[in-house]
Structure 1
Amino acid sequence: MREAGLNPLLQDATVAAERLVSVLRMAVATGLLLVFGLTISGTDLGSLAPYLHRQLFFALLTMIAYFVLGAGCFLATSQGWFRPWMAWLTVTADALFMLLNVRLSILNGGFDGNMALLLPPAWLVPVVMAFGVMRMHPRMQLYATLLLTGGLTALIFWLPTAPEGDQAARIAGLLTGPPNVMKLTMILLAGLVMVLAAARMRRLFQRALSSAEERANLTRYLPAQIADQLADGGLDSLQHGQRQAMAVLFVDIRGFTQWSETRDPQDVGDFITTFRSHVENSAARHDGMIDKYMGDAAMLLFAEAPEERGAPNGAARALACAATLCKSIHAWSDQRLAAGEDTVEVGIGVHAGEVFAGVVGSENRLEYSVFGDAVNIASRLEQHSKTVPETIIASAQTLEAAGIAPARGRWRALPPVALRGRSGVMDIFAKEE
């Protein structure tokens, strides 16, 4: 089950990071065991003081236990038992594991607490911190940093132990070859973990850039909502297509062709750009999808919203978008009139019905297409608005689907119209402004 409030991709990345960290724990433990074995291979163990025997035993036990911790985490992440919140437990385990071993080394060697940072277990700190970088979780990294520094501070300043015997000789032993070899090994391992962390973040960053570029390329040809589905791997289902209830809105600028013939190309380009910005803002406000632009016209789609979202259905959103777009265009027209420029008028047709929707083409050139009687009717209602003339025309079927009573919604009945390509007449309404 997905953790609530956590992005699925981020959750998967968290689990993958923890799996990698578990492998690195086993690798670090194995590397230290090998170096440990090589370091003491030429040592006469019988000549060592008793506390050194215990120190070697603790070191061996630590490395084995650390390997077991890594193996357990790897099993949990591989079998699907691991949950993102468990990473806080493993971070805590890493820190406490290191602090416990430092404490045991202080007690066993009879050292003062101030010697904590000279002990080989304390040199695991860079490794533990490097593991935190792999997770790419700032709060978790901060938590690990505070836990480690707080624990070491307590060991150094608040829990000193009384010296036993010749502490100077024991301290000197910490600065000899074998302990220093172990410290250098830990630094090397921490550096290698950092290299892996950097490589992993670079790879994730490149993947994110590639995904963003793919989405950007898709949105050049497809509506943004469809591009998101394709980027998530839904091309096959979209290519199969489906029949679905949908409201279709057509909008067209009145007299644009005649107006543009006497205008500078730059002025025409700026005019169309502004018009499309009004269309896009209105569509976004009502969760509409811009299917295509056709010069000075646009086709918008309003799919049925899932019931659990509690949002208005497609027909209601299409009608609301038509009103919003009309108001926006009127405000723009008033601004142009105040500046001494020509006014802007549009015609809008809206119809709701069943359509066939799907993606056609190859991955190199895709096109989202909507076919059906509903599309044709919406287009012809927009064309009919020129002859009535009215700004917004909607079919009676659309008002019924939206649950709008014409009188209450300020819709005025127009004479029934016979649309090209259809038998009989259709009841239509115009929006009162």
Structure 2
Amino acid sequence: MNARRSDADRSVLMSASVDKLVQEAEIEAEYAIGWVRIVLGLVLFASGFLVWSGTAGVTGEYHPNQVRLTAMITVGALFSLGIISFLLVVRRWFKPWMAFVLAAGDATILAGSLYFGLEGTQLGGNWIAAMPAIWAAPLILAVGALRHRPFVQIWATAVMMVAVFGVAFALGFDLFLTDFGTTVSPSDLEARIGRLFSLPPHLMRAVMLTLIGLVTALAMARSRRLLMRAVGETARRANLARFLPAEIAPLLGENGVAAWRQGRLQQATILFVDIRGFTAFAEKMDPARLSVFISSFRRRVTRAVEAHDGLVDKFVGDGALLVFGIPEPRGDDCTRALACAHEILALVDQWNIKRGFNPPVRVGIGIHTGVVYCGLVGDDRRLEFTVLGDTVNVAAKIEQATKRFDAALLASETVVIQTGQQGSWQEVGREPLGGRGEHLAIFATRGSLAAKARG
């Protein structure tokens, strides 16, 4: 159950990291869309001015003030909406739901442009598809594709369709076009329709078609950039996972490496385990068998530590440094460390029975708890997570003391007290360890002492 909980915790951490990456991408998308709206507003204004003024002398067409005013208001509204969305992101006021409001704003601007454009030409709703402004619909949807949010795009498409059909029916859409040409003279109708297919409207359609192509190219570029970023982040995490514990790698977000390089002091429980008499053991093995032997030992240690929500800080030769309480300390760190130690001893006993080692494999385990420094050390080519400090040194010396006391498992008094298992342990020594000024009480399990006495 502990192993499953550990896997679930790692899954939650990784999911949170992915969600953060997606949220950052969405904010960047709104920032880009804000700029695109601004640029589109400027481009449409400039192109409209050049087209309508530059072609007037060539075509001899007169463009009513209402048409020019409608175009200017449309472009101005699009430009203003871009400024608003841009400021929302820059000022960090933007919320995900605002994308739906901005999409509705785009549709509203388009509806206003179509309505007043058709009204200015005195044509009904049936001629909405002939208006140059209708080309702004795919252009706006192409801009929305920068978001990578399907539901927002579906919403934008829906409100766009409502806007277009709403304008068509508001201006008197004739389902079967039965009144075609009955209210105006044919020559007047031809003149009105002709204005929609003269040189200036065609040039504006060409401008918007070009903008659609450019915006879709931008959307593809952003998609590729996001994909490359995701692949790069995955590769970076995979590379970190080669050298870092699996519990630490998911925590290293964009600023995580810098934070963990600074390190921090926190409570943790340290467990050292080492194979006794390994040198004599190794001398009897060829390199291939020795490799298999060490791999089998490490596999058993890893199985035990993962079962009790600890982590392997490092393997060193025939030994290992295990930590409980990383990344955050828990109230049962000492209890889980002792349970892990007993499981390691049980797995080693099963290993001896299975392989028939002669002499049998024996290990020594030392446990201590206290404040440690934990963080990342090394350069970008090889980062290493490590724990340092007096607590780590004491745990190592307790592990070495297992040789003198001929015990497989020793723990400090602090560990025994925190587990509340004083009745199962007995003090075997109270002495300075390796030059420490204070005396530290070392405890062994009563069962191991009784077994040694019977032996």
Q: Fold-level match, TM-score > 0.5?
A: yes
In 2, the alpha carbon distance for the partners of 1:110 and 1:277 equals: 82
Cα distance, 1:38 vs structure 2: 1.7
- Greater shift, 369-378 or 127-136, is seen at 369-378
Matching of residue 177 in structure 1 with residue 199 in structure 2: yes
Provide the secondary structure at the position in 2 that maps to 1:161: coil
Q: Does the CA-based 8 Å contact 1:107-1:161 persist in structure 2?
A: no
> Would the aligned equivalents of 1:304 and 1:313 in 2 still touch at CA under 8 Å?
no
Of 73, 78, 87, the match for 2:90: 78
Indicate the residue corresponding to 1:426 in structure 2.
441
In the alignment, the residues of structure 2 paired with residue 186 and residue 108 of structure 1 have an alpha-carbon distance, to the nearest angstrom, of 21
Report how far residue 206 of structure 1 moved. Answer: 3.2
Change (3 A) 1:232 1:22: closer
Partner of 2:210: 188
Structure 1 position 144, deviation (Å): 1.9
User: Structure 1 residues 150, 323: closer, same or farther in 2, change over 3 A?
Assistant: farther
2:421 paired with 1:413 = no
Q: Please say if residues 29 and 64 of structure 1, whose CA atoms lie closer than 8 Å, have aligned partners that are also in contact.
A: yes
Task: Decide which of 326, 334, 344 is 1:315's aligned counterpart.
Answer: 334
Structure 2 letter corresponding to 1:252? D
Q: Distance in 2 between matches of 1:285 and 1:160?
A: 73
Identity of aligned residues (%): 32
Corresponding residue of 1:250: 272
| Partner of residue 134, structure 1 | 146
Change (3 A) 1:397 1:185: same
In structure 2, C-alpha distance between the alignment counterparts of 1:127 and 1:105, rounded to whole Å: 18
Q: CA deviation at 1:256?
A: 5.1
How has the CA–CA distance of structure 1 residues 117 and 403 changed in structure 2, closer, same or farther, with 3 Å as cutoff? Answer: farther
Q: Which amino acid aligns with 2:425?
A: R
1:262 Cα deviation after fit: 4.4
Cα RMSD of the aligned pairs, angstroms, is 3.8
Deviations 1:228-276 (A, max 9, x none): 6666445666555554432111123456555554455445434434443
Q: Give the whole-Å Cα distance in 2 for the aligned partners of 1:133 and 1:431.
A: 69
**Distance across 2 between alignment mates of 1:275 and 1:239:** 31
Letter aligned with residue 15 of structure 1 = I
Moved more, 350-359 or 184-193: 350-359
Q: What is the CA deviation profile of residues 375-404 of structure 1, one whole-angstrom value per residue up to 9, with x for unaligned ones?
A: 23322333444566555432221122x342
Q: Deviations over 1:155-180 (max 9, x none)?
A: 66898525553555544432332212
Aligned-partner Cα distance in 1 for 2:169–2:227: 42
Asked if structure 1 preserves the Cα contact closer than 8 Å seen for 2:115 and 2:167, the reply is: yes
Decide whether the 8 Å contact of 1:358 with 1:369 is kept in 2.
Answer: yes
1:108 deviation in Å? 4.4
Q: TM-score, normalised by structure 2?
A: 0.76
Aligned positions, number: 416
- Residues of 2 paired with 1:281 and 1:59: CA distance? 71
Residues 109-258 of structure 1 mapped to structure 2, 5 A cutoff: 109-152=121-164, 160-162=172-174, 164-165=183-184, 166=186, 167=189, 169-224=191-246, 232-233=254-255, 238=260, 241-253=263-275, 257-258=279-280
Instruction: Label 1:153 to 1:345 Cα distance change in 2 as closer, same or farther (>3 A).
Output: farther
Cα shift at 1:415: 2.5
Structure 1 residues 44-59: aligned runs within 5 Å:
48=62, 53-59=65-71
**Partner deviation per Cα, 1:59-114 (whole Å, 9 max, x = no partner):** 22111111111122222322333233322211221133223433444454454544
Note the residue ranges of structure 1 that are not aligned, 5 or more in a row. Answer: none
**Structure 1 residue aligned with 2:56:** 43
Aligned amino acid, residue 354 of structure 1: V
* Alpha carbons of structure 1 residues 117 and 382: separation in structure 2 relative to 1, 3 Å: farther
Structure 1 position 115, deviation (Å)? 3.4
User: What's the offset of the Cα at 1:34?
Assistant: 1.5
Q: 1:432 to 1:185 in 2, by over 3 A?
A: farther
Q: Give the distance between the partners of 1:306 and 1:114, measured in 2 at CA.
A: 67
Contact 2:332 2:419 in 1 (8 A): no
1:352 and 1:397 in contact (8 A); partners too: yes
Give 3-state SS (helix, strand or coil) of 1:298's partner: strand
Q: For residue 370 of structure 1, what is the aligned residue in structure 2?
A: 387
Question: Retained in 2: the 8 A contact 1:290–1:298?
Answer: yes
Residue 203 of structure 1: CA displacement? 3.0
Stretch of structure 1 that moved more, 417-426 or 123-132: 417-426
> What is the rounded CA distance, in whole Å, between the counterparts of 2:440 and 2:446 in structure 1?
20
Q: CA deviation at 1:286?
A: 4.3
How far, CA to CA, are the matches of 1:383 and 1:114 in structure 2? 91
Residue 351 of structure 1: how far off its partner (Å): 0.9
Contact in 2 for aligned 1:377/1:419 (Cα 8 Å): no
Aligned-residue offset at 1:298? 1.0
2:13 matched residue in structure 1: none
With over 3 angstroms needed to count, the CA separation of the structure-2 counterparts of 1:393 and 1:33, relative to structure 1, is: same
Larger relative contact order (CA 8 Å, sep ≥ 6): 2
Pairwise CA distance, 1:362: 4.0
